[in-house]
Amino acid sequence: MVKYYFTAYEHALGHSTERREEPREFIRFVEAPGLKVRKPHQVPVWKDIYVQSDVPDKLSSLKELANNLWWSWNSEAESLFKRMDPSLWEDVYHNPKLLLEKIDYKRLLVLEDDDDFVADLGKVNDLFRTYLNRPDNPDLPSIGYFSMEFGIHPCLKIYSGGLGILAGDYLKEASDSNLNITGVGLLYRYGYFKQKLGPRGEQLAIYEAEEFSRLPIIPVKDSEGNQLCVSLVWPGRPVKIRLWEAMVGKVRLILLDTDSEDNLPEDRTVTHHLYGGDNENRLRQELILGIGGIRALVALGIKPQIYHSNEGHSAFISFERLRSLITDHHLTFNQALEAVRSSTLFTTHTPVPAGHDAFDEDLLRKYISHYHSRISITWEELMALGRCEGDSDKKFNMSYLATRMSQEVNGVSKLHGEVSQGMFNKLWPGYLKEELFIGYVTNGVHHPTWTAPEWREVYKELTGSHSFDQTDRSLWEKLYSLEDKRIYEVKKSLKKSLFSNIR
């Protein structure tokens, strides 16, 4: 960039010299009395700029496709990006936004003249537009879905395991089902580590900083074009939280981060690593997700009717909702508590008590000592929301808080639901565990995401379409008619691909 600046400056100096040599009328400048002429500031002012790549007009729809993660479960769209430059597609880890930034413009010009590619792009874009333009159902409730991680695609490193994969598939299925849902999570600068093996076979954790401008996300802007922020107050300073948006089909995923120049260095690193740092950093992350997440939805004008916590990390959403109902809407604590409980769901994943996040009271005093007065209760009553009476462990348990503040709680399988009933039974002494409002919803997967291309071809042979509607019983009957030999051939082909990839 700077070399072009020097070139432009050289041209400007040349034109300035030419103008100086032209004859001019004599003009006398007189300084106005009392007016001081200030010298220009000599210190350069550096500002961030974002340089975006461009594509030919015939291929312009690629940019919108790249910015919506719908492509990650649409085989035609993904194949289209791969065709642009197969080698580069692997180098950018299947990130179409980065592909468009790095691809040679000459290659784009070749693709622009490729009638087959342009025609296929038109078909994919028509599918995309039809998908997005499905009318919303006003009778369905609006949902806010809070999760510490979302596993949507490897190019967006904001997940590390099953919790995130479930959350990502949840949003994809919600989009396919045309549900009114908004996801809320954290945007990690380093995400999870890249695993490599050392010379002795030991695991090496390699952390690589993400450039947010190269991810399939965009900054959320306010009415003046600035990035929208919300804030929390931590000991002795405010903390700014930036808002980003990822589109998962029709679903908005709002992501929060603190890596801003407006924050102190120690606050900028809070959202650097998924589950990174000590227990205090974990508390900070959960305050951002819970309290900051609710404030983000308010700033965006989003008013969910149902609030869903995917694991206890986001349980602080109840504190902020209580504060708003009591402070802004003048409800009593018990009225606000009933309103919050009646509209909150909690999905628990952890089958053992030791796996649930818990924090010392002194640490909580450091960050939320003001909250009890905001919701019109004592500090002891606030702490009791995250404790079990008679329990030797006096730490504040996030899963206890989430359970107490929810209308319904579910495990992720039938057995896990029964385990969870036993684990939380002590919160309601005198009740049998079977009487609790704790059930189960067995984990599922988003079918288009996890279906191999080879199986898609089988579905097309049987049904005429690459997609497969699992709720259509007639399609299952066609699958049952599939010969064992055909199934064996597909599985054998997939195993070969697996071995080839591992090698």
Share of the chain above pLDDT 70, in %: 91
159-163 average pLDDT score: 90
CB under 8 A, 24+ apart: contacts of 323-328: 323/371, 323/374, 323/375, 324/294, 324/298, 326/374, 326/375, 326/376, 327/374
289-315 average pLDDT score: 97
Q: Report the pLDDT value the prediction gives residue 35, as an integer from 0 to 100.
A: 53
pLDDT of 31 above 70? no
- At 503, the pLDDT band (50, 70, 90 cuts) reads confident
Instruction: Tell me phi and psi for residue 244, to 5 degrees.
Output: -125, 160
Q: Report the pLDDT value the prediction gives residue 478, as an integer from 0 to 100.
A: 82
Q: Which amino acid is present at 390?
A: G
The angle at the Cα of 359, spanning 353 to 360, to the nearest 5 degrees, equals 120
pLDDT of 353 above 90? no
Dump pLDDT digits (tens) for 39-97: 555 667 676 666 667 888 899 999 999 999 999 999 899 999 999 999 999 999 999 99
17-45 average pLDDT score: 58
Q: Report the pLDDT value the prediction gives residue 276, as an integer from 0 to 100.
A: 81
User: How far apart (Å, rounded) are the C-alpha atoms in residues 125 and 61?
Assistant: 7
- Identify the CA nearest to 345 among candidates 282, 300, 411: 411
Q: Report the pLDDT value the prediction gives residue 475, as an integer from 0 to 100.
A: 81
- At 161, the pLDDT band (50, 70, 90 cuts) reads confident
Phi-psi label, residue 94: left if phi above 0, alpha if psi -120 to 50, beta otherwise: left
The two tokens of residue 340 are: 């919050």
Q: Report the pLDDT value the prediction gives residue 38, as an integer from 0 to 100.
A: 57
User: How far apart (Å, rounded) are the C-alpha atoms in residues 9 and 423?
Assistant: 71
Question: Strand locations in 438-477, DSSP E?
Answer: 438-440
Does 392 or 496 have the greater pLDDT score?
Answer: 496
Contacts of 184 (CB under 8 A, 6+ apart): 144, 145, 146, 147, 253, 254, 256, 289, 293, 296, 297, 314
pLDDT of 414 above 60? yes
177-200 average pLDDT score: 92
- At 32, the pLDDT band (50, 70, 90 cuts) reads low
Q: Report the pLDDT value the prediction gives residue 362, as an integer from 0 to 100.
A: 94
Does 159 or 38 have the greater pLDDT score?
Answer: 159
Q: Report the pLDDT value the prediction gives residue 36, as an integer from 0 to 100.
A: 57
- Beta 358-359 vs 396-397: how paired, if at all? antiparallel
**Residue in the block written with tokens 């300084």:** 31
- At 33, the pLDDT band (50, 70, 90 cuts) reads low
User: How far apart (Å, rounded) are the C-alpha atoms in residues 400 and 357?
Assistant: 10
User: What rounded mean pLDDT belongs to the chain?
Assistant: 89
DSSP element (H, E) containing 284: helix 279-287
Q: CA torsion 403→409→411→415, rounded to 10°? A: 100
Going from the C-alpha of 108 to that of each of 57, 100, 118, 135, 499, the distances in angstroms are 10, 9, 11, 34, 34
Domain assignments of the chain as residue spans, ordered by start = 57-132, 144-440, 451-502
Angle between helices 115-132 and 75-84 (to 10 degrees): 150
User: How far apart (Å, rounded) are the C-alpha atoms in residues 499 and 121?
Assistant: 32
User: How far apart (Å, rounded) are the C-alpha atoms in residues 499 and 503?
Assistant: 6
pLDDT of 34 above 80? no
User: How far apart (Å, rounded) are the C-alpha atoms in residues 54 and 100?
Assistant: 8
- At 193, the pLDDT band (50, 70, 90 cuts) reads confident
pLDDT of 470 above 90? no
Task: Tell me which CATH code domain 144-440 carries.
Answer: 3.40.50.2000
- At 192, the pLDDT band (50, 70, 90 cuts) reads confident
pLDDT of 313 above 90? yes
305 and 368 Cβ atoms separated by less than 8 Å: no
Burial class for 503, CB neighbours closer than 10 Å (0-12, 13-18, 19+): exposed
pLDDT of 254 above 60? yes
Which range among 54-58, 309-313, 462-466 shows the weakest confidence by mean pLDDT?
462-466
List residues bridging with 232 in a β-sheet. 239
Q: Report the pLDDT value the prediction gives residue 24, as an integer from 0 to 100.
A: 54
Q: Report the pLDDT value the prediction gives residue 23, as an integer from 0 to 100.
A: 54
Burial class for 233, CB neighbours closer than 10 Å (0-12, 13-18, 19+): exposed
Cα-Cα end-to-end distance for the chain: 41
